[in-house]
């Protein structure tokens, strides 16, 4: 048996989280059993806790999709990983626990000088950013890009990727002046806009001499839909990843420009994808991001580290929408 964080009644507020005793997971072929050192929090955890997230059938009930830790068992022979390896990775669920079973196709070797906390903050955010930019957004050097929710962990990862991979301009939208300063001063974006005070779509048109942006990554949803169409360049790609502002569009939304601008709008999820698709994304992170983590170019920006004993406080902080970076829990 092992300790894991459960939800009283199966769903509820942050106060419903509690320490449970559940069986150590059984390994499937190509799985590894990892003793968890740290895990990252994601908005999907809150949605799942509230009963608002469609969990894939292969996922365990326990929350958490990203983690770092040490391999203590391998189900079958592996040429890439062995017992004792320090790793981090992405799972369908189960990271809020002492042990997690995960496909070796979704593990990455942790650099020796990288902390457990930083390693646990990479998988979901950096894999999602790579997926949005490359596989869906068709980003290439010289293109401009806009990241909504610019102080979120996914956008922080994506901004760093965009700048390093040769974006002509990188923009972000955020909900406070403090976050504008963070995106400009800390991340180095071309410009950031406070959507509560500015018509960010018009500002982006001004900043691009009326052309608009080539790739838009939207983690916000309905409230930004019209602005996305306005700010998009011809042949732009709009990648829809989140909908914290809701799913119902405001009245009088004008979709006309989608036609004459030839805009492609595509929604995507990551957790519901099969392991082979996720493995391709892991390989993108290994190729595009890991060398730059090793040389210090890329940074994992952590807002706060909690003990997993304080998981309720961690969830409440994420719900507050005041974070600038990852929230990490140590399994201590």
User: What are 269-300's pLDDT values in tens digits?
Assistant: 877 788 888 888 899 899 889 999 999 999 99
How far is the C-alpha of 312 from the C-alpha of 235, rounded, in Å?
Answer: 44
pTM for the structure as a whole: 0.86
Mean pLDDT of the chain: 94
Banded pLDDT at 324 (limits 50, 70, 90): confident
pLDDT for residue 209: 97
CATH architecture of 126-267: 3-Layer(aba) Sandwich (3.40)
pLDDT above 90: residue 180 = yes
How far is the C-alpha of 200 from the C-alpha of 192, rounded, in Å?
Answer: 9
pLDDT above 90: residue 250 = no
How far is the C-alpha of 184 from the C-alpha of 212, rounded, in Å?
Answer: 19
Taking residues 225-234, report their average pLDDT: 97
Banded pLDDT at 97 (limits 50, 70, 90): very high
pLDDT for residue 273: 83
Q: Where are the domains of the chain?
A: 2-122+271-330, 126-267
What is the topology classification, in CATH, of domain 2-122+271-330? Quinone Oxidoreductase; Chain A, domain 1 (3.90.180)
Taking residues 244-259, report their average pLDDT: 89
């Amino acid at each position: 048996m092992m300790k894991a964080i459960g939800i009283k009644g199966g769903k509820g507020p942050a106060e419903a989280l509690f320490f449970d005793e559940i069986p150590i997971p059984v390994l499937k072929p190509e799985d590894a059993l990892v003793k968890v050192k740290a895990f990252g929090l994601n908005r999907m955890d809150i949605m799942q806790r509230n009963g608002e997230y469609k969990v894939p059938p292969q996922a365990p009930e326990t929350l958490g999709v990203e983690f770092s830790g040490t391999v203590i068992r391998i189900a079958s022979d592996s040429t890439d990983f062995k017992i004792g390896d320090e790793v981090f990775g992405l799972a369908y669920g189960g990271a809020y626990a002492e042990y997690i079973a995960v496909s070796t196709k979704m593990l990455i070797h942790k650099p020796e000088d990288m902390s457990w906390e930083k390693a646990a903050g990479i998988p979901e955010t950096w894999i999602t950013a790579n997926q949005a930019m490359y596989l869906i957004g068709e980003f290439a050097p010289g293109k401009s890009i806009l990241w909504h929710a610019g102080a979120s962990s996914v956008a922080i990862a994506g901004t760093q990727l965009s700048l390093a991979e040769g974006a002509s301009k990188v923009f972000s939208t955020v909900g406070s002046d403090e976050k504008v300063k963070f995106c400009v001063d800390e991340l180095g974006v071309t410009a950031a806009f406070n959507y509560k005070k500015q018509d960010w779509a018009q500002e982006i048109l001004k900043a691009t001499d009326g052309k608009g942006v080539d790739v838009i990554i939207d983690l916000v949803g309905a409230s930004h839909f019209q602005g996305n169409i306005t700010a998009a360049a011809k042949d732009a790609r709009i990648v829809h990843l989140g909908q914290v502002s809701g799913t119902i569009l405001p009245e009088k939304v004008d979709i006309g420009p989608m036609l004459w601008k030839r805009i492609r709008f595509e929604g995507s999820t990551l957790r519901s994808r099969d392991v082979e698709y996720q493995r391709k994304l892991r390989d993108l992170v290994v190729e595009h991001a890991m060398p730059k983590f090793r040389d210090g170019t890329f940074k994992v920006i952590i807002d706060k580290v909690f003990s997993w004993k304080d998981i309720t406080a961690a969830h409440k902080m994420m719900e507050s929408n005041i974070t600038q970076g990852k929230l990490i829990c140590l399994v201590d």
